[in-house]
Amino acid sequence: MSARYFGAAVPRLEDPRLLAGQGRYVDDISLPGMLNAAFMRAQVAHGRIRGIDARQARNMPGVAAIYTMADFAAIAQGPMPPMAPHPLLKTPITYHPLAVDEVCHVGEAIAIVLADTCQQAEDAANAIDLDVEDLPSIADPLAALADDAPKVHSGRNSNLIGALRGGFGNVEAVFAKADHVLAETFSIHRGGCHSMECRGVIAAPDTLSDGLTIYTSSQSPYMVRRHLAQYLKRDESTLRVIAPDVGGGFGPKANVYPEEFAVALAAFTIERPVKWIEDRSEHFVATTQQRDQVWNVEVAFTGEGRMQAVRGRCIHDNGAYAPYGLILPATALASFPGPYALEALDVSIDVVLTNLVPTSPVRGAARPCTAFVLERLADRIARHLDLPREEVRRRSLVATEQMPYTTGMKARDGSPISYDSGDYIKALDLALKKIDAAGFAARKTEAAARGTLLGLGMASCVEDTGLAPFEGATVRVTPAGKVTIATGAASQGQGHRTVLAQIAADALGVDIADISVEAADTGKFPLGISTIASRIAVTAGSSVELAAQKVRNKALKAASFMLEAAEADLEIDNGIVRVVGVPSMQVSLGDIARALSGSAGLLLPGHIEPDLAATAYFESNALTFAYGANACEVEIDPATGDARVTRYVVVHDCGRLINPLVVDGQIRGGVVHGIGNALYERMVYDEAGQPLSTNYGEYLLPLATEMPDIEIHHIETPSPRNPIGVKGAGEGGTIPATACVISAIEDALGTGAPFIAEHPVSPDRITQWLDAMTSADDLKGRGQ
């Protein structure tokens, strides 16, 4: 079998339709008799609902119904099931589909309005008379820990919902004997989702059964089915959930949302299809974000700059509910010790409720936060010891001779985490070589001549990918000789269809143009988990490989019978099975499929089980670790504080590349997300929890004019942990990028620069630092 497609930059099968404006996103779907929904949402961060008067709103033009949670009592009641239960969360902290008596953040949905048009629905939602008693609110996670702080939920006596702790080794002993110890505080902010398509959902009652079909812009259609079925006490088979084309996900669309439940409940109640399309202002207040972590850490290191141990505590802003359990803070914890070979670690994370929209993973989850802490510490150590930053890293990174390297941490299933393969130091050295670190001093001098400040940044990362347990696939050859792949793996732009087709095309010896992929439709494939944690290439990719190999073997067995030739003498080329060296003896895969489809009264060839198809669930039972090193240059205009990333180099190892075009696209987009976190994206609230950045004039995203070209170099160390040797690539761009840019900014500011322990960093902040540095110089000058 030749690898004709695997590894090639095959243009995406998804593209032609999307380029021609023929994509089919949720809002492009219109069903007969469909009503449009709008939500009436909380305007206060914390309040008790005293009354809702919708009489006037109900009589407005086009309005079909207005429902609150009480109207659904006959179908369902109570809070939604938790998506990821955690033993620390004794009682789940989940939303009701519509708030019942208390609202805990601005934007929480209270009532759903159904009308002929979405404009009419919005008008009526604005006309509902809501009587809310203001309750004290808290927006700052640090202040929320005080004994006398307002409680985010009036029924809870503490805002602390969990204290996670992880580590290994004898931290006390390492710190006691260390040559040096430094302490720092980091303030990390990661903004929101901002997929260009907002969320959206359509629920359509089935007229022939009592079922419901749901179209949702989701990373987790199977989780929507599972949790909604559980909530409605229905069999899953009565719910069909489809994620059609989805316009970006980036993590927050992995949640199961109250709006999905409310739209389903409304459709069941009114017995008509109901559509809700989130608008951007709702996205700012009702789609999960990531926001803040504050870390107080100490690092112990040797006189040579080898990082030995880290200890510390993080305050994690959870927001008002924990629909996704403690996944986000748990990921922060599990991301230690990053790519560094620490002797000991002791970190804890206090997960704190605030009266803000909940937090959940955004691209990279909390791995970029952990990377920021570790990479900034590496730079801090270098400054303290007056060593090159890369030297501290070389002395501290896990060495390739140590692979597989058991870190001391535990995975979600309790198993020890071990990095499988790779050469972290080589990646760093290559990144520095490619950015021409040796020539940096000369470029800095040139920049100074132009009146700008040039800085060089660097950061390394490791990423756990291929999260258990599985995404399965069925590969089937049809009598027309076409191949279909069905999988539960949902896509939000990653090009899964193309890469899965590449794998199957090679395994089956067929033209990729003959392959189609059906994904993310619970009616087409029985099981699925979720497109999260850079897991689809490993899980679904491996399942497609295993299923396609089974189909291949089955085809060869049938052909052997049909051609009366030994299996060992057969080859498959371009959809034809033939006897090697005897071109006249051949049968097409389509003909084999037809024979295995059965004909009345005829025996199947070779008594082989019908259907030229196979299903596989590759069990991804050990994480596989992608890694990389980044280097960048940032140029600062000291007059305005404007910081531009002018060059960016990525060295990345995600094992074997299925499609370099797609992998590079994932990395570039990921890096730019990280640059946004470093320089632009800040979700701002006032002290009472009122959001202050609710449009794209106030919340800045990276634009074409500010982004550099990103140069990518791959190291391909095949993963030993799956049959196709791949590692995930979805988030490796984002994880080190913020730390890399901040490293460059600090370097650009030069001697006397403050240690930068926060992001995003605005031009304002940079001019503050420059002004402070100038005054310090002046003082020094006067003192001399």
Partner 1 sequence: MSDTRRITLRVNGKPHTADVETRVHLADFLRGSLGLTGTHLGCEHGVCGACTIIVDGRAVRSCLMLAVQADGAEIETVESLGAADALSPLQKAFSTHHALQCGFCTPGMLMSLEAFLRANPQPSEADIREAISGNICRCTGYQGIVEAALAAVAAREPTQ
Q: Which residues bind partner 1 (CB under 8 A)?
A: 11-12, 14-25, 27-28, 61, 119, 194-198, 245-248, 250, 279-280, 492-495, 661-662, 664-665, 668-669, 671-673, 695-697, 701-705, 707, 709-710
Least Å distance between CB 782 and partner 1? 44
Least Å distance between CB 24 and partner 1? 8
Least Å distance between CB 765 and partner 1? 23
Least Å distance between CB 30 and partner 1? 8
Tokens 């985010």 locate to: 152
Least Å distance between CB 344 and partner 1? 38
Residue 645, both tokens? 């990333």
Reported in sequence order, the residue ranges of 365-522 that DSSP labels E, i.e. its strands, are 405-410, 416-419, 453-465, 473-477, 483-487, 515-519
In DSSP terms, 571 is beta-bridged to: 578
Judged by beta carbon, residue 118 or residue 322, the one nearer partner 1 is 118
Least Å distance between CB 17 and partner 1? 5
Reported in sequence order, the residue ranges of 561-665 that DSSP labels E, i.e. its strands, are 570-573, 576-579, 582-588, 613-616, 624-637, 642-653
Judged by beta carbon, residue 277 or residue 753, the one nearer partner 1 is 277
Judged by beta carbon, residue 469 or residue 708, the one nearer partner 1 is 708
Judged by beta carbon, residue 82 or residue 244, the one nearer partner 1 is 244
The alpha carbon of 72 is separated from its chain's Cα centroid by a whole number of angstroms, namely: 33
The alpha carbon of 397 is separated from its chain's Cα centroid by a whole number of angstroms, namely: 26
Least Å distance between CB 558 and partner 1? 34
In DSSP terms, 129 is beta-bridged to: 53
Cβ-based neighbour number of residue 357 at 10 Å = 29
- Let me know: does 345 contact 171? Beta carbons within 8 Å: yes
Least Å distance between CB 697 and partner 1? 7
Q: Which amino acid is at 357?
A: V
Among the listed residues 524, 549, 520, the one whose alpha carbon sits nearest the alpha carbon of residue 616: 549
Strands 624-637 and 613-616, how do they pair? unpaired
Least Å distance between CB 535 and partner 1? 17
> Quick check: helix, strand or coil at residue 573?
strand
Least Å distance between CB 645 and partner 1? 11
d(Cα 312, Cα 294) in Å, to the nearest integer? 11
Residue 199, both tokens? 């969320």
H-helix or E-strand spanning residue 689 = none
d(Cα 212, Cα 206) in Å, to the nearest integer? 5
d(Cα 88, Cα 85) in Å, to the nearest integer? 9
Torsion of CA 172, 175, 178, 180, to 10 degrees: -170
Least Å distance between CB 710 and partner 1? 6
Least Å distance between CB 644 and partner 1? 12
- Let me know: does 728 contact 489? Beta carbons within 8 Å: no
H-helix or E-strand spanning residue 86 = none
Torsion of CA 89, 92, 95, 96, to 10 degrees: -170
Helix-helix angle 763-783:734-749, to 10 degrees: 30
Judged by beta carbon, residue 360 or residue 492, the one nearer partner 1 is 492
d(Cα 669, Cα 323) in Å, to the nearest integer? 27
The alpha carbon of 75 is separated from its chain's Cα centroid by a whole number of angstroms, namely: 33
> What Å distances lie between residue 399 and 45, 309, 426, 651, 695, CA to CA?
49, 17, 9, 17, 46
Q: Which amino acid is at 449?
A: A
Judged by beta carbon, residue 15 or residue 304, the one nearer partner 1 is 15
Judged by beta carbon, residue 248 or residue 323, the one nearer partner 1 is 248
> What Å distances lie between residue 706 and 145, 513, 702, CA to CA?
39, 38, 7
Least Å distance between CB 666 and partner 1? 8
Least Å distance between CB 116 and partner 1? 11
Q: What is the CA radius of gyration of the chain?
A: 28
Judged by beta carbon, residue 570 or residue 729, the one nearer partner 1 is 729
Judged by beta carbon, residue 28 or residue 131, the one nearer partner 1 is 28
Judged by beta carbon, residue 308 or residue 494, the one nearer partner 1 is 494
Judged by beta carbon, residue 247 or residue 312, the one nearer partner 1 is 247
In DSSP terms, 406 is beta-bridged to: 418
Least Å distance between CB 255 and partner 1? 18
Judged by beta carbon, residue 119 or residue 237, the one nearer partner 1 is 119
Judged by beta carbon, residue 226 or residue 668, the one nearer partner 1 is 668
> What's the DSSP call for residue 369?
H
Least Å distance between CB 281 and partner 1? 8
Buried b / exposed e across 517-555, counting CB within 10 Å, b at 16+? Answer: bebbbbeebeebbbbbbbbbbbbbbbbbbbbbbbbbebb
Judged by beta carbon, residue 407 or residue 666, the one nearer partner 1 is 666
- Contact partners, residue 607, CB within 8 Å, separation at least 6: none
Judged by beta carbon, residue 631 or residue 710, the one nearer partner 1 is 710
Reported as half-sphere exposure (CB side, CA atoms, 13 A), residue 35 has a value of 26
Judged by beta carbon, residue 146 or residue 703, the one nearer partner 1 is 703
Please say whether the dihedral angle defined by the alpha carbons of residues 47, 50, 55 and 56, taken in this order, is positive or negative.
Answer: negative
Please say whether the dihedral angle defined by the alpha carbons of residues 208, 212, 217 and 218, taken in this order, is positive or negative.
Answer: negative
Least Å distance between CB 194 and partner 1? 6
Judged by beta carbon, residue 625 or residue 699, the one nearer partner 1 is 699
Residue 339, both tokens? 């790519």
Q: Which amino acid is at 219?
A: Q
The alpha carbon of 640 is separated from its chain's Cα centroid by a whole number of angstroms, namely: 34
